[in-house]
Structure 1
Amino acid sequence: MPTLLLTRRRTAGPFRGLLLALLLLLVLPVRATHIVGGEMDLQYLQNATYQLTLNLYFDAINGSSGALDNDLTVSIFEKGTDRRMQNLTLPLGANTLVNYTSPACALPTSLVTRKLVYSGRLELPANVYTNPAGYYAAVERCCRNSGIRNIQDPADAGQTFYLEFPPVVRNGQPFRDSTPRIFPPLGDYACLGELFYYDFGGQDADGDSLVYELATPLNGHSTPGLPKPPVADPQPYQPVRWSAGLSTLNQIPGAPTLTINRQTGRLQVRPTDEGLFVFGIRCAEYRRGMKIGEARRDFQLKVIRCAQNAAPTMRVTLPSGAGTFRPGRDTLRLRPGFSRCLTLKVSDPDSPSRLTMSLRPVNFTAGQLPTISTTQGTVRSPGAPDTLVSQLCFPACFNTRGRVYLLDLIVADNGCSLPKRDTVRLAFTAVPDPNSPPTISSTAALPLRARIGDLITFDVTGLDADNDPMTLSMAGRGFSPADLGITFVQQASGNQLQGRFTWRVDCRAAARTSYEFDFTASAGPCSEPTAVGLRIPIQIDYSNTPPVLVSSLPAPSTTGPIDAPVRVRRLIGNAYEATFTGTDADTDPLVLSATGNGFDLAAAGMSFRPQNGNGRATATFRWDPNCTGLKLPDGALEVTFRLQETTCRPEPRSRVVRFELINPDTVAFTPPNIFTPNNDPNRLNEYFQLENLPPDFCDSRFADIKIFSRWGNLVYRSTDRNFRWDGSQLAPGTYFYLIEFTDGRKFKGPVTLAR
């Protein structure tokens, strides 16, 4: 031990011996052997979060309470490089006993195992865990039970709990994986010289394929001197050393030795030596044929000498006492009019013995199996019989369709550690009793026609003369009746089942011209009923004549687009009125409306007064033009007039009208181009003034006039549209004017000043 300790902790100097002694004193309380086995699994939660769980199986009899850890540390490494990614402390959670398959077989003085569950949240960021080779997790702990017989120096052997998992990103896409969970833990012992089997099969949340094989348990780097390293070292992890003559494929002495089914995980061994034996299994995980991870489990199997347990026996008596069935020679033939019940007599030479009977179909799918009157009972105990008798009865409907079916009749005792069984393979054919099909009828008076608003009701009745269990159903061909508000309420009376069909036809029915309903009555024994059907069509009478909209609006253009709006132009103060009349041949309720496209009618000086009714609607529209319309981007107002009918499939009619204000400036603007401020006695042409300026109109108003010299110097400016420029004592010559309006319009030109 000192050599191993000093190899891991290379302490130099004269204090080496003192340090070794102190370390040994510190670890003495936890040197007791206690590890039965264990495994890890990693489950995806969400985003980058996973749950890592370590199950450690603890020897509750030989293990020291000081070796029960409150936490363990798992280390995560990158495969290929063995780079340490992170360490995670796993606190102890659950601490429970591993149950025996049969509590009566428990050996509390020699085999009691606890399951210690350590668990924690593990973060695997997608930008970090991208190595294509994957990753592995490891926890190292010492020591195993000293009484293990199939490995060398078991008290000095530790266990490395080991798990492999893939990257969380593959080919640039998220790759989510939950590793296999191996279950359940082994709580039973094996009997010397008797076949022992146990299901170690696991489950995978992703549905990946699992393959099982035996593996040599891993020892690792932990030692009795350092039973709980602070963190795990990277691989390689040394395996345990098998005793002479044993190996990975021969872990427990037996005939046959320990094996595991690659697909199911079922363990099997017939041990030839007594004692405690450790074994290891590896569960590899495959997705689309590629291995993506693995989980390992170490465990122990205790082999003891068991009391002799004789197997129970079963005898099958044919119907009506016609003899005993001989497996492999007889075939039972079940026919109409004859008994379908067999008598099962089971016994067991052991005293007392509790027997359990069960059925297992061999070459057919388990549908409705025969019934067993008594499935459990005790024999050869005070007050109990020596033989347990039960009736096995086949249903009258059982039909093998000319084939010979094989059915295993199994009786098992409650012997330890595994029950002994006797199996009788029953070969049989069965012809069902004659059965009349059900009948179906309705009260519907065909042909059925309906209009919107009608209420349709009728009854559908299913009748079975044999009084077999019956069902009645309704389905729509290409539609769901429930979507149309249809109900089909059923009630039973004797051997008939009646359903009431109810449909208040509304606008949902107008989507189609007809509907077909399939009604089915199904009845028959067992799980093979006979079905009869009835189809009922319902014709929907619905049509709609589109309404007609007539107005006094201008006629649409015959050269422009069909849907282009008509134009109405008016001067301010010149009112406009239009009338509208809507009619409908179906006398459906009509509604006339007018909507401003992006503005309020009243604010724009518009009004619309409708009078709506059934089959006819009228309205009057009036526009008192004002400048409101010029606040829109294009200086116009668009109004949509709509005639809407109230019916199942309405066809509205509409007109769009574009209302525009007319600018009153209809006279061409021709300013003078010369004036003579020379103090003429008649005062003629003394000023430059513009009496025919375009008038102010809504947002287009006179802003100012500017006059410039030929060199661009401003010589005159006025904001009064009635300005008069007298030349300002300037020299004769040509000048230039610029007139601006508030809407951006401009007028410019030359004017000559002559004296």
Structure 2
Amino acid sequence: MRKILHSFTMLLFACGLLMGSAQEARASHLLGGDMTYVSLGNNQYRVKFRLYRDCSGITPSAFTLSCKNGGCSAAASVTAPFVQQGAVEAGNPFCAAVSAGPCQGPVGLPNYDVYNYTATVTLTPGQWILSTDQNARPALANIQAGDLYVEATLDNRNQGSTAVANNSPQFDPQDIPIQYACWKQRQTITFSSTEADGDSLVYSLAAPLQSCGTPATYNTMPGSGAVLAPINCPGGGQGFFSFPGMPSSLYSPTNPIRLGLDTVGTCPLRTGVARTFNFNQQSRTITFTPGYYDPAAGAAGGGNKYQIAVLITEYRRINGVRRIIGTVRREANIIVIDCGNNSTPNPVQANAVTTNSNTTTVNTTDTTRIDVRSCNYSRVELNFTDPDNLRTPSAGQLLTVTLPPNINTDPRYLDSGDVGTFSLSGNGTTNPKGVFFFQPSPTTVGRTILLSFKIEDNACPIKGVQNRVLVIRVLRGNFATAAATIGSPGIGAQTPASICPGGSLTIQGNVLRPDSIRRIANNTTVLQPYSFQWSVAPGGNGLPAVTNTQNISVNPTVTTRYLLRITPQLGFAQGLCGDTTSVLVRVVPQPVVTATASLPTVCLGSPVTLTAAATRPTGTGSNLNDTYTYTWTGAGVPANTRGTTYTARPTTLGVNTYTVAANGASPYGCTATATVQVLVVPVITTKFITADSVGTNGKYTNNPPITFTFTNQTTPGVGVAGAPTAYAWTYQRFKDVQEAPVGDPAVAFGGNSASPGPLKLTEAGYYRVRLTVTVPAASASCSTLFSERIVFVPDLKVPNIITPNGDNQNDYFRVSSVNVTNSKIEIYNRWGRKVYEQSNYANNWGGDNQPAGVYYYLLTDSKGVQTKGWVEVVR
């Protein structure tokens, strides 16, 4: 698009920043050339020479190929005439209306044509310089007039025992090295090439050659002084334009053309900055904006013509040694013209339209880069436009897009679908469109494909031309990733998923991002289907019989890693675009369950609490937290009784066995069983009886000491299952004979025997005799039982004299310390006559109405035990 020439720019021209005198026209006509070669085998090479001629000059003379081995000073040891191939190719930079025939164009503008020559030579191993030359170049702005010299080099020396042959890089024929560049419009020139041997190519800017080893001599580029000038600011007001000046200097390979200034900054101060000549080694392009045009130069003049050259150095590693294997050099002639109101077409814009394809596009100043991923389908659209068609009213210019004709089949490009396909529609219309369908095979990963596009409009007299390089990089992109997940979380929901031997898990296979794919045969896009194949790592097991389904159920008995491979079934290279993943299923030991009873022995029908607890054994899986269900079985246990505890009431005497099964979460196969035994004994009845008391002479008596015997009648008896295992006998005097409480301690006797020996009690009073029966660890209802009886030890200490004289001292016949006894007393005189009788004697006979003398008594207690003796009454 045309740019408005601001007042300060005009001022620069007025100051002579970019001015220079036109070069004097010469009759010379050779604009440039390039030389390449291919190996025919057996050290034979076909050398191709392309010559670019200014139509205003004379027809070129014959050219000879000169081959030197040993440097520029060596004599040519091999020569051959170049033979022209085919007709001369006429350039076509102008519209048909001003091009009546080949090499014709509008007045004042030069045209060009192209000659193709070949020669075949045999070059034995050596370091060769292949060249041709002729007089002369035309007048040029940046280099001095001189001969045209074109060369290539070849180093086909053997590397050790390895013979060396080489094919030089071949230039893209559509990259015409005669370029008309519109003044003040950005221009890109491409230097695309292909290389058949897989060698590394390094591009660099170089000087055109005048002879072997001698570069052309560069002219001086005019400079300018400093500028500080007022300018009008947008929106009103005044500012200044500043430029520090630029000294004159020689043109050079990196600065071969007058470029002018760019303006930076904002009002009130704007600054002039020298433009740059941009060389992109990766995309092999040169981008620049011409800043000077001499309208008076004419077709034969050199004021608007500039010569540039690009050197391609070819490297190869042979037997571990990296060396230069050859060089080629291509010259280009830039002719700056005034395109008037016509703008060059826009650089092609690329747009990736397939979502999730990971294809990216970057539109830069000099290239359009497209990064595509292997094993992925993507659609990328190219839009070809012209700024003159985008304004209102539209210029309606028709655009013609030129690209390599074998773009779809050439292995250097889309490789017959291995990288993708391309189609162009609307060529020759105001808005052509291109579409790439990419689905690169993994075998193409690492390729960088350079595609040169030329877009030209049909403006007249001068067609606007835009050259563009599309850089396509094929990157690794198996984004259809295999995924294997566990359908359930496993024991404790920890990673890796864990099960017990005999358990099972469902493993689910998936493709994290299923690709789409282009079906070229029917021009449709479909979802990529995938196949699934499961296997196990060495030492594993548990695969099902069918292993090619998306999901599988596994039941390993050892820790096993399961492997999944997914494979696309359409397009690409199916065997290489798959992916693998794995998932580990850990097999841990079975849990350990314990069962305990709250009491080891219980009475028949008494409750006992059974408790279960499952834990994981030490080692692998000891940290897993499983959830267990406990199921109890045994005599009297209802079916499906579950819980960590169970209260049993056993009704069977003897040993009762209960079993608990602990089952972990399903379906992980964790289970364990344990048993617990409870001894069930009959309900105990504690009882004993007391035998009649006897005195020291072995006869019944009411006088202490008294000996008691006991008969144990506790049931069940000793030796019966569930019988008591411990006995304890105690006695304790708790009241005296007058029934006053006493605090005597309990005293053990009998030696914890079921049948204690006789118990001798010497102190009168009331005694509590207790038998305690213990069943160790039994339930409360029968663990400790007791039975007791009360025995009485009287204090019959009968006196043998009383003195009933009323002094309250020994006035009565007292047989006991109690006031009223439970004995019957009978008293007789010495003649046997009963003189006194009283039941429940109250110690109150005082010899009533009886004379002094000896009397005889008979005491009979409530049990019929009799005690007799005599007592003397003294008055």
**TMscore range, shorter length:** 0.3 to 0.5
Q: TM-score, normalised by structure 2?
A: 0.32
Question: Which has more radius of gyration?
Answer: 2
Q: TM-score, normalised by structure 1?
A: 0.37
